[in-house]
Structure 1
Amino acid sequence: MQASALRLARQASSLPLRRCLATTVNPAHVASSSASSPSPTRVTAQQSIIPLGNIEAQWERMSVEDKTTVHEQLEEIMKKDWKQLSIDEKKAAYYVSFGPHGPRAPISQPGDNWKILGCVIALVGVSAIISGTIRSYGQETPRTLSKEWQEASNERAREQKMNPLTGIASEGYSGTGFVSK
């Protein structure tokens, strides 16, 4: 089938062609697509036919120029009634629009999760070492954090009737007040 496609491409090379996508091997299709070309540009190089049959496999190897051509051709194809499009044309349009390339390319590669986990564990370990070092050289805890000071703060709050509706000075209060340990 590829040999016949190449033969037809050679036969059609004598005609001034616009680069187009082929869904079938039909020289009339190639000639009609070149005749209906609204583009005023003149193409001098011999044009090749890009089949839509397996665009997923071809996409990564295509040049930027070919990808642009595919986009333009698919825009023209999608202007037709969707029911008239072939399965290959529909698949190609979907892949080019929503495939895993460009902005939809996967962000992470296989194995990245283990690298991220390793880095997170390393950073947590480094931060624990830094925190332990700072605590070992730091001052002792302030006197206001002792249990006696916090109980004295509770007594002082009751004497001053602090928060008499719901707080420590209210009737039936069962909370710990300022005691945190």
Structure 2
Amino acid sequence: MLRTSVIRGANSLAAAARPSAPRCLVQQTRQAHAISNPTLADIEKRWETLPPQEQADLWMALRDRMKADWHELTLQEKKAAYWIAFGPHGPRAQTPPGEGKKVFLYTMAGIGATFALWFGVRAFAKGETPRTMTKEYQEASNEFLKSQKSEPISGFSAEGYEGKGMIQSPPESKA
């Protein structure tokens, strides 16, 4: 509830004589009254079902009450303010029973679908290997890297290098 009080300066006659000076200062104060017990009764059970506008109005009323001296708050208001601020609702609500199992099963279903898709793509892929996977191409890559003096300290161009280099494919077996 708003209450307007008018505070006049010490020399109101002098202030009234000057046209540019304000005649009076208006100060507004907010006087919060106690929230009724029926409004706060069973707030823990009713909070989730209240419309968002009523939730906001109730919280604002409690916030205004908490701005005053806390000794003036009723026990019901203190409990309601604490529960609204820290209670298990909204993002702090407890997960429903079986939620972990549900998440695990959906995750496993997703992984299973991924493997099924991967095996399906592999089953219908062409049987030819890419030309970059032939042993001749990989040996030519090794020679090119040596001619470019790539990795001269520990790699292809280093003295005494005996690694496979770019060769990844197993030796072709002759049948």
TM-score computed with the length of structure 2 as normaliser: 0.55
1:76 corresponding residue in structure 2: 64
Q: Whose radius of gyration is greater, 1 or 2?
A: 2
Per-residue deviation at 1:150? 2.4
Count of residue correspondences: 138
What per-residue deviation string (whole Å, max 9, x for no partner) do you get for residues 92-120 of structure 1? Answer: 21211233334x35485332222222222
Query: Aligned residue for 1:56?
Result: 44
Residue of 84, 94, 114 corresponding to 1:96: 84
Q: Structure 1 unaligned segments of length 5 or more: list them.
A: 1-17, 19-36, 40-46
Write the letter of the residue equivalent to 1:112.
E
CA separation in 2, counterparts of 1:83 and 1:150? Answer: 84
Identity of aligned residues (%): 37
Q: Specify whether residues 107 and 138 from structure 1 end up closer, same or farther in structure 2 by C-alpha distance, changes over 3 A only.
A: farther
- Residue 168 of structure 1: aligned partner: 156
Say if 2:116 is the partner of 1:129: yes
SS in structure 2 opposite 1:50? helix
Shift of 1:70: 3.2
Q: Which ranges in structure 2 are unaligned for 5 or more consecutive residues?
A: 2-29, 170-175
Question: What is the CA-CA distance between 1:154 and the residue it aligns to?
Answer: 1.9
Question: In structure 1, what residue type is equivalent to 2:85?
Answer: S
**Residue in structure 2 matched with residue 153 of structure 1 by the alignment:** 141
CA-atom RMSD, angstroms?
3.8
Given residue 151 of structure 2, which amino acid in structure 1 is its aligned partner? N
Query: Quick one: structure 1 residues 71 and 50, their matched pair in 2 at CA, closer, same or farther if it must change by over 3 Å?
Result: farther
Relative to structure 1, is the Cα distance of residues 159 and 71 closer, same or farther in structure 2, using a 3 angstrom cutoff?
closer
1:44-103, Cα deviation, whole Å (9 max, x unpaired): xxx96327576424534656676455324312320123466566543321211233334x
Alignment of 1:109-128 (within 5 A): 109-128=96-115
Which residue does the alignment assign to 1:13? none
Q: Shift of residue 138 of structure 1?
A: 1.1
Structure 1 length-normalised TM: 0.53
Q: Deviations over 1:100-157 (max 9, x none)?
A: 334x354853322222222222222222222212212212321321345424422332
Query: Judging changes above 3 Å, is the alpha-carbon distance between structure 1 residues 73 and 114 closer, same or farther for their aligned structure 2 residues?
Result: same
